[in-house]
């Protein structure tokens, strides 16, 4: 502790301290007030267990926990079924167009999941195009509303987490390790199960936990396709904002339950990974099996089908946006009416989305890059605290964060509720950790001798950070910033809580369009969002191939 | 060019004492090498001198100027790193100018000095290349030019050759030595390669477990190793545990596995003491059984177990009773004189070439 305030470390320790204080003030305190609120009565703030007793007593509440966890677990299992064989084939077989398979697989992560849900309804809803088709064949089919739909959308939307992490696992199993296994007299299949699988398992499991966490905190998909079934994030939002009768105390209690679920799964992931960190030591690449003729074509076709199916809804949304719509009814005529409506009546939400995402991304970079630097290069007691502080936002669902920020900044000396700043603040809290993590992983690959060489040549450490470190990180930082921007414009779960009429966003308008059956407007916004995400994504894939790949 | 004084420098990492009360006086213009196995503290010491690490006790001086406490960028050191650390986003020329810019040297002088430095390391014509267009050897030359162009008070080199292939390593070490002598710059060089250290240095400090075991000229540490570690670490040596049987006159006799070795009698070699004997392979002469032996030589008889013919020399492994073997190097590689496996031979060595170390010395 003694050297924390020495001049040499002063700048970095002060920076770490500031970030630490910001996390406490803008995240820990608001979330704590939700925690406190859950034990208080709504009327006079007296201590009570009423909210939690209601949670146990009323079916809607406890069922929302069961639904959220059950649906997320089911999606986690299904992503494994979908992604692990895919990852194995892409890693070990000589498929055609592998880079395309990988690039296509990343797209669902960049696009809002509720757009996917919305477009699946167009296809498989009660009046869906495909539903009608199925029924015309005489097969009884209602729709995908309900649990099945939620699980399906989660699966096709979040499978890339498992796919990409498993893929890097399979890619880093050294050929020689498998050869050693085989040379010791085990057959290929047994070697795979006994030698390769344990090395890949950490990747699979941490990918699956990511799926679980993303699914359990998801707001849009169950809201759009869950059809009145209660889910934690949705229920908390409804109790907080309902027109009929608000129950903030109940919303707090549901938030606390949700935090407990996400916190537990994150802890489980960290605990699991701490003991198994042997994935990165491989040198050689694994052997690629040469398939020929039909086998190769079939495998390639299978893999492309798997990565293309999740993209169908986005394609559908794009097509629909150019058709004439009257409410939920589609007329097969080409039309730009959806866009003319969107741009004339909804210019403000479009501007808001871009503006808020840009502000939040810039702030995230300004804070996140130094934070990543401290995590990697300046480990001290403050640095360890920072590591924990930066993990925290991952455990707070967007809906919960929105509720917490409103509670905190409604009154007092800093009133933000109802302003654009509270939205920018929420986005920054949610995205900054991503910039910090990716900066830190870029820095791990950067030889510290670069910085030391600069210092030894007479450039002080501060200037060295800007002239050398930042310069060498810039490719990765830009790629990370673009990804942050892309995922920020599609943020819904905290926006829906925090938005006000003047500061609504594309996602909010689109979401309300879906709920009020205004499919035309929804599809126009969906298309604008998709294009806004795909274009930057293509830029990254084109320009920052190397750096970009380490970010996913 | 000042010399460097290191006085009682200690550096700990938690419980590990990486540098333990080290004192060294390095002359001005001297090429001084810190040599030792990995983890011996040589890089730690170098990084303390550079200012990347804060040591706990003691002082470091460049000439009369005390530098500990002064941050690295104000110490005036030139440093060359193991992984070159050439800035990948700058051209060769801009890499070399980097330190000059920081010193606000006028632009024209920058260009002049940079081209001189590049000429010195024989990289003329590559000024505008980017680092990813250069080979490992060229990168290291850029790094050296970049460190020298700022005219540092001392030059610090941290295993600069270990990433190069063997042939280039030998070539580059000759060049580094020549350059250093031409500029007369006080240099501290870190390596784990004992041959490199012997070939390049004015003096060597051999380190182990954060302690300097011996400081001396290359031939001193080779021929007169101060302890068993130095004897074993530098060069190839026959080492074995033994016990002094008799010790009288100028001669002590030690026994190991039933074989007797004659040793020059010195302090501490009392009868019954446990010792280690170190005997260089080239100190031993291999002879036919009937050949006469000069005075002052100790004679052993053994049998050739195997040999390696290496062109300029032959390595023999000679066996005695009960699994005691000696490695012998003979530069008399004339085909007619090559001994055969199984042949009985006479070995002799001057008794003062057998070094003895007490085994009970504190580690």
Query: A453 to chain B: which residues are within 8 Å by CB?
Result: 79, 81, 85-87, 143, 146
A456, B79: Cβ pair inside 8 Å? yes
CB A469 within 8 A of CB B87: no
Per-residue model confidence (pLDDT) at position B200: 92
The domain A321-552 is placed in CATH, from the list 1.10.3720.10, 3.40.50.300, 3.40.50.2000, 3.40.50.720, at 1.10.3720.10
Does B76 lie in the same domain as B168?
yes
Q: From the CA of B95, how many Å to the nearest CA of chain A?
A: 10
pLDDT in tens, B53-97: 888 888 999 988 888 888 888 888 999 998 888 998 899 999 999
| Co-location of B210 and B257 in the same domain | no
- Angle at which helix A420-444 crosses helix A470-489, to 10 degrees, equals 140
The answer to whether residue B345 scores a pLDDT higher than 90 is no
Residue B118 lies in a domain: yes
Are B102 and A461 a contacting pair at CB < 8 A? no
Answer yes or no: do B85 and A453 touch at CB < 8 A. Answer: yes
What pLDDT, on a 0 to 100 scale, did the predictor assign at position B322? 67
> Is 90 exceeded by the pLDDT of residue A150?
yes
The Cα of B78 is separated from the nearest Cα of chain A by a number of Å equal to: 6
Same domain as B203, residue B103: yes
A540: its two tokens: 């990254």
Fold of A34-317: MetI-like fold (1.10.3720)
**Low-confidence winner among A23-32, B35-44, B246-255 (lowest mean pLDDT):** B246-255
Q: Please check whether residues B215 and B254 belong to one and the same domain.
A: no
Say yes or no: B183 and B310 in one domain. no
Inform me whether the pLDDT recorded for A274 exceeds 80: no
All residues of chain B having their beta carbon less than 8 Å from the beta carbon of residue A447 are 83, 85
Find the radius of gyration of the CA atoms of chain B.
25
Torsion of the alpha carbons at A149, A155, A156 and A160, rounded to the nearest 10: 160
Two structure tokens written together for B229 = 């570690």
Is B81 in the A-facing interface, judged by CB distances under 8 Å? Answer: yes
pLDDT digits (tens, 9 = 90+) for A8-42: 667 777 888 888 888 888 888 899 888 888 888 87
- What pLDDT, on a 0 to 100 scale, did the predictor assign at position A549? 42
Position A547 scores a pLDDT of 43
Same domain for B276 and B303? yes
For residue A288, pLDDT over 70 is answered with yes
Residues B116 and B264 in one domain: no
Q: Given this model, what pLDDT does residue A366 score?
A: 92
Euclidean distance between CA atoms A229 and A235, whole angstroms: 9
Structure tokens that stand for B351 in this block: 């008794």
Alpha-carbon gap: A9 to the closest alpha carbon of chain B (Å):
12
pLDDT for residue A279? 46
Please state, in angstroms and rounded to a whole number, the distance separating the CA atoms of residues A322 and A339. 8
The answer to whether the complex's ipTM is over 0.90 is no
- Of the partner residues A449, A454, A456, the one whose CB lies closest to the CB of residue B77: A456
Tens digit of pLDDT for each residue in A243-263?
Answer: 666 778 888 888 999 999 988
The answer to whether B88 faces chain A, any CB pair under 8 Å, is yes
Pair B223, B295 in one domain: no
CA nearest A147: which of A78, A241, A85, A84? A78
CATH number (domain holding residue B309):
2.40.50.140
φ/ψ bin of B184: left (φ > 0), alpha (ψ from -120 to 50), beta (otherwise): left
Residues B25 and B142 in one domain: yes
How close, in Å, is residue B51 to chain A by CA atoms?
Answer: 9
| Chain A contact for B247 (CB, 8 A cutoff) | no
pLDDT the model gives residue A243: 63
Per the model's pLDDT, the better-predicted residue between B274 and B202 turns out to be: B202
- CATH number of the domain where residue B63 is located: 3.40.50.300
Residue B198's pLDDT is: 92
The per-residue pLDDT for B183 is 87
**Average model confidence (pLDDT) across chain A:** 84
Domain extent listing, chain A = 34-317, 321-552
Same domain (yes/no): B218, B352: no
Is the pLDDT at A427 greater than 80? The verdict is yes
Residues spanned by the domain of B352 = 239-358
Of B77, B83, B102, the CB nearest to A459: B102
Same fold: A34-317 with A321-552: yes
Are A447 and B77 a contacting pair at CB < 8 A? no
B363 domain-assigned: no
- What per-residue confidence (pLDDT) applies to A244? 62
Q: Scan for tokens 């499978």, then name that residue.
A: A159
Q: B308 and B190 in one domain?
A: no
| Residue A396 pLDDT > 80 | yes
What is the number of structural domains in chain B? Answer: 2
Q: How far apart are CA A30 and CA A255, in angstroms?
A: 12
Q: B residues 101-130 near A, CB within 8 Å?
A: 102-103
Q: Lowest mean pLDDT of A483-497, A535-549, B197-211, B301-315, name the range.
A: A535-549
pLDDT over 50 (residue A548): no
For B84, other C-beta atoms within 10 Å of its C-beta total 28
- Together in a domain, B48 and B193: yes
CB A525 within 8 Å of CB A510: yes
A10 CB within 8 Å of a chain B CB: no
pLDDT reported for residue B310 = 85
Does the pLDDT at position B208 exceed 70? yes
Q: Supply the pLDDT for residue A282.
A: 46
């Amino acid at each position: 502790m003694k050297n924390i305030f020495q001049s040499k470390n002063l700048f970095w320790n002060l920076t770490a301290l500031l970030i630490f204080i910001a996390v406490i003030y803008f995240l820990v305190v608001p979330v704590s007030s939700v925690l406190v609120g859950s034990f208080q009565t709504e009327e006079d703030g007296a201590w009570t267990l009423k909210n939690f007793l209601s949670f146990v007593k009323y079916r809607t509440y406890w069922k929302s926990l069961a639904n959220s966890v059950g649906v997320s677990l089911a999606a986690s299992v299904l992503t494994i079924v979908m992604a692990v064989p895919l990852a194995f084939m892409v890693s070990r077989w000589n498929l055609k167009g592998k880079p395309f398979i990988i690039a296509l697989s990343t797209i669902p992560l960049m696009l809002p999941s509720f757009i996917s849900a919305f477009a699946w309804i167009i296809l498989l809803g009660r009046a869906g195009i495909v539903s009608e088709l199925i029924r015309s064949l005489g097969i009884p089919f209602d729709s995908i509303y309900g649990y099945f739909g939620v699980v399906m959308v989660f699966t096709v939307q979040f499978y890339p987490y498992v796919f990409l992490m498993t893929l890097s696992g399979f890619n880093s199993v050294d050929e020689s390790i498998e050869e050693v296994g085989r040379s010791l007299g085990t057959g290929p299949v047994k070697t795979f199960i006994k030698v390769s699988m344990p090395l890949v398992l950490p990747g699979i499991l941490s990918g699956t936990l990511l799926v679980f966490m993303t699914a359990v905190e998801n707001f849009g998909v169950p809201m759009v396709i869950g059809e009145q079934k209660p889910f934690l994030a949705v229920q908390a939002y409804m109790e907080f904002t309902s027109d009929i009768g608000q129950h903030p105390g109940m919303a707090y209690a549901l938030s606390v339950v949700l935090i407990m679920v996400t916190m537990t799964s994150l802890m489980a992931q960290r605990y699991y990974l701490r003991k198994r960190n042997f994935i990165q030591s491989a040198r050689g690449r694994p052997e690629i099996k040469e398939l020929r003729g039909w086998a190769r074509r079939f495998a390639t076709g299978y893999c492309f089908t798997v990565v293309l199916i999740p993209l169908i809804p986005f394609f559908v949304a794009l097509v629909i946006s150019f058709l004439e719509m009257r409410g939920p009814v589609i007329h097969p005529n080409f039309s730009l009416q959806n866009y003319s409506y969107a741009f004339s009546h909804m210019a403000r939400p479009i501007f808001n989305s871009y503006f808020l995402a840009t502000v939040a991304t810039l702030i995230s970079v300004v804070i996140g890059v130094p934070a990543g630097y401290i995590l990697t290069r300046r480990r001290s007691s403050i640095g360890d605290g920072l590591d924990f502080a930066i993990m925290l936002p991952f455990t707070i669902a967007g809906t919960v964060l929105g509720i917490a920020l409103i509670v905190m900044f409604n009154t007092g000396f800093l009133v933000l509720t109802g302003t654009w700043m509270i939205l920018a603040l929420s986005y920054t809290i949610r995205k900054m950790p991503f910039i910090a993590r990716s900066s830190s992983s870029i820095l791990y690959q950067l030889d510290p001798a670069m910085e030391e060489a600069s210092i030894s040549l007479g450039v002080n450490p501060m200037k060295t950070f800007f002239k050398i470190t930042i310069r060498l990180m810039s490719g990765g930082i830009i790629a990370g910033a673009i990804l942050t921007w892309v995922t920020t414009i599609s943020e819904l779960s905290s926006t829906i809580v925090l938005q006000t009429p003047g500061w609504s966003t594309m996602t909010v308008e689109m979401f309300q369009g879906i709920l009020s059956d205004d499919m035309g407007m929804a599809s126009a916004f969906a298309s604008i969002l998709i294009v806004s995400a795909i274009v930057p994504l293509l830029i990254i894939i084109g320009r920052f191939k190397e750096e970009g790949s380490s970010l996913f | 060019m000042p010399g460097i004084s290191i006085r009682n420098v200690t550096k700990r990492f938690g419980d590990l004492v990486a540098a333990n009360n080290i004192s060294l006086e390095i002359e001005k213009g001297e090429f001084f090498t810190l040599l030792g196995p990995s983890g011996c503290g040589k890089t730690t010491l170098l990084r303390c001198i550079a200012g990347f690490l804060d040591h706990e006790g003691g002082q470091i001086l460049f000439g009369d100027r005390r530098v500990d406490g002064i941050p690295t960028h104000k110490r005036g050191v030139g440093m060359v790193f193991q992984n070159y650390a050439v800035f990948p986003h700058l051209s060769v020329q801009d890499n070399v100018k980097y330190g000059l810019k920081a010193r606000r040297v006028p632009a024209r002088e920058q260009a002049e000095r940079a081209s001189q430095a590049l000429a010195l390391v024989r990289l003329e014509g590559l000024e505008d290349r980017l680092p990813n267009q250069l080979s490992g050897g060229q990168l290291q030359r850029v790094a050296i030019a970049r460190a020298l162009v700022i005219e540092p008070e001392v030059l610090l080199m941290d295993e600069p050759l270990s990433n190069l292939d063997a042939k280039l390593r030998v070539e580059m070490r000759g060049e580094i030595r020549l350059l250093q002598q031409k500029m007369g710059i006080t240099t501290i060089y870190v390596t784990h390669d004992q041959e490199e250290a012997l070939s390049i240095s004015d003096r060597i400090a051999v380190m182990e477990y954060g302690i300097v075991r011996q400081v001396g000229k290359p031939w001193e540490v080779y021929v007169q190793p101060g302890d068993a570690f130095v004897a074993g670490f530098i060069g190839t040596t026959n080492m074995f545990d033994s016990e002094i049987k008799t010790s009288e006159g100028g001669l002590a006799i030690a026994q190991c596995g039933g074989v007797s070795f004659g040793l020059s009698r010195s302090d501490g070699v009392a009868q019954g003491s446990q010792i280690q004997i170190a005997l260089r392979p080239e100190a031993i002469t291999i002879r036919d059984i009937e050949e006469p032996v000069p005075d002052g030589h100790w004679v052993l008889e053994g049998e050739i177990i195997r040999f390696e013919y290496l062109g300029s020399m032959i390595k023999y492994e000679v066996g005695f009773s009960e699994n005691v073997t000696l490695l012998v190097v003979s530069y008399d590689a004339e085909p007619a004189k090559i001994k055969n496996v199984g042949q009985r031979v006479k070995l002799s060595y001057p008794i003062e070439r057998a070094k003895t170390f007490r085994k009970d010395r504190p580690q």
